[in-house]
Amino acid sequence: MTDTPFNQAYQRCLQLLARREYSQLELRQKLTQQSVEAAVIDDCLARLQQENYQSDRRFADMLCHTRVNQRYGSQKIRYELKQKGIENSLINATLAEYQTMWLDNARQLISRKASGAEVKKIFTDFTLKHKITRFLVGKGYDYDTIHLAFESLQDDDK
């Protein structure tokens, strides 16, 4: 193999992808930082996708799985996937696979934040409930999910 710009870019991408998944946009940005021509980048990314070394679908699944395990909500994950250049249709499909986990994760976070005896206090102490709500919004949960999580914890408490 000769040391053409295409081969250099291709090898660089393979090195990056050997460590972790990257979105197409991330690889494009990394190659652009190295002053690789746009035509070479396009050819390189097309070949990587054709040979299944790079897949935005696989990247979205990996990122979503990781963030769900870190107890992030759908809004924050959606924003991060958009920042990485993933298409809306792929984002929606990926997040739909984890739809059942948002409520459980929110409940776990509420229980962790209001540990022990304070769990009962959530329903009477507006300040504590507001503090936990702000925390959950920061983690990327929407208000509907937060409300359902509080309701289900209150129902369990009765």
For the cut 80, the answer to whether the pLDDT of residue 155 exceeds it is: no
Q: Domain residues of the chain, as ranges?
A: 5-54, 57-96, 101-157
Residue type, 35: S
Closest by CA to 54, choosing from 88, 28, 91, 89, is 28
Are 122 and 150 within 8 A, CB to CB? yes
Q: What is the pTM of this model?
A: 0.87
User: Mean of the pLDDT values across residues 64-89?
Assistant: 97
Class of domain 5-54: mainly alpha
pLDDT of residue 61: 97
34's CB contacts (< 8 A; 6+ apart) are 9, 12
Q: What is the pLDDT of residues 15-69, one digit of tens each?
A: 999 999 999 999 999 999 999 999 999 999 999 999 999 999 999 999 999 999 9
Give the CA angle between residues 13, 18, 64 to the nearest 5°: 95
Tell me: pLDDT of 92 over 70.
yes
Tell me, what's the pLDDT at 154? 80
